[in-house]
Amino acid sequence: MLIAEDERMLADSIAEGLRAEALAVDVVYDGDAALERLGVNDYDVLVLDRDLPVVHGDDVCRAVAESDALVRVLMLTAAVTVPARVDGLRLGADDYLTKPFAFEELVARIQALGRRARPAAPPTLERGGIRLDPSRREVYRDGRYVRLARKEFGLLAELMLADGAIVSAERLLEKVWDEHADPFTNTVRVTLMKLRRKLGDPPVIETVPGAGYRIP
């Protein structure tokens, strides 16, 4: 997901909290940078401050609405009047949250928008003897609880959501990590190795040489 917010302390604080929820987060501080990132990255959710410098948040929202991007927009603003909220939704925002806000509500709204950015998935994902509950962040393998680190959980969730399709290492890096991840790193491979060990035998994650990984 992408956060576009010019109050740097607020933006960085939101990003830190969302990363603790196992979300991959990029941050920009003006509208021009937001448009640049949106042009090169495939985001699920954009948290968009309305009063951005350089390019106004309204113009960013309008550009997203006019594009074929699947990203969902959660608009943030200090304006609390009904006309202001209606205005933002008419620009193309999918949801609206006024400042100040409770972080728990922000997370819940982002998660709801994230589900809408993809094809509809059941509340609990099940495949290969694995049951994953995204809302509770719980994983069970053949009825046995498996304690996973945040990135391990995020990686497993992406593979489960793929519903048997192959997911490339590049795609996993983009969806589970963030812009600071080195594209040449072996982080995905190392995290997968740890995940496989925790899930136990028989192995459930298959490596497809030259293509990526899948849970068949």
pLDDT in the model for residue 180 = 62
Torsion angle, alpha carbons of 210, 126, 119, 35, to 10: -60
What band does 182 get if pLDDT is binned at 50, 70 and 90? Answer: low
Q: Is the same domain home to 11 and 83?
A: yes
pLDDT top residue among 18 and 79? 18
Q: Is the same domain home to 54 and 159?
A: no
User: 1-15, 58-72, 161-175: which has the highest mean pLDDT?
Assistant: 1-15
pLDDT in the model for residue 129 = 92
Q: Is the dihedral of CA 134, 23, 41, 111 positive or negative?
A: positive
Give me the mean pLDDT over the 157-179 stretch.
85
User: Number of structural domains, the chain?
Assistant: 2
Q: Is the same domain home to 7 and 111?
A: yes
Q: Is 142 within 8 Å of 129 (Cβ atoms)?
A: yes
pLDDT tens digit string along 53-101?
A: 999 999 999 999 888 778 999 998 877 677 777 776 778 889 988 888 8
pLDDT in the model for residue 31 = 95
Residue 120 has pLDDT above 60, yes or no: no
- State which residues form the domain around 97: 2-117
pLDDT top residue among 134 and 79? 134
Q: Rounded to whole angstroms, how far apart are CA atoms 3 and 26? A: 6
Burial class (CB in 10 A: 0-12, 13-18, 19+), 50: buried
Write down which residue in 100, 117, 134 finishes a domain.
Answer: 117
Q: What CA–CA distances, in Å, run from 64 to 2, 29, 45, 47, 109?
A: 13, 17, 11, 12, 19
* pLDDT, mean over the chain: 86
pLDDT top residue among 134 and 182? 134
Question: 209 preceded by cis ω (within 30°)?
Answer: no
Q: Is the same domain home to 98 and 29?
A: yes
Q: Is the same domain home to 111 and 7?
A: yes
pLDDT in the model for residue 6 = 93
Write down which residue in 117, 145, 178 finishes a domain.
Answer: 117
CATH of the domain at 36: 3.40.50.2300
Q: What CA–CA distances, in Å, run from 124 to 48, 137, 150, 169, 205?
A: 29, 10, 18, 24, 18
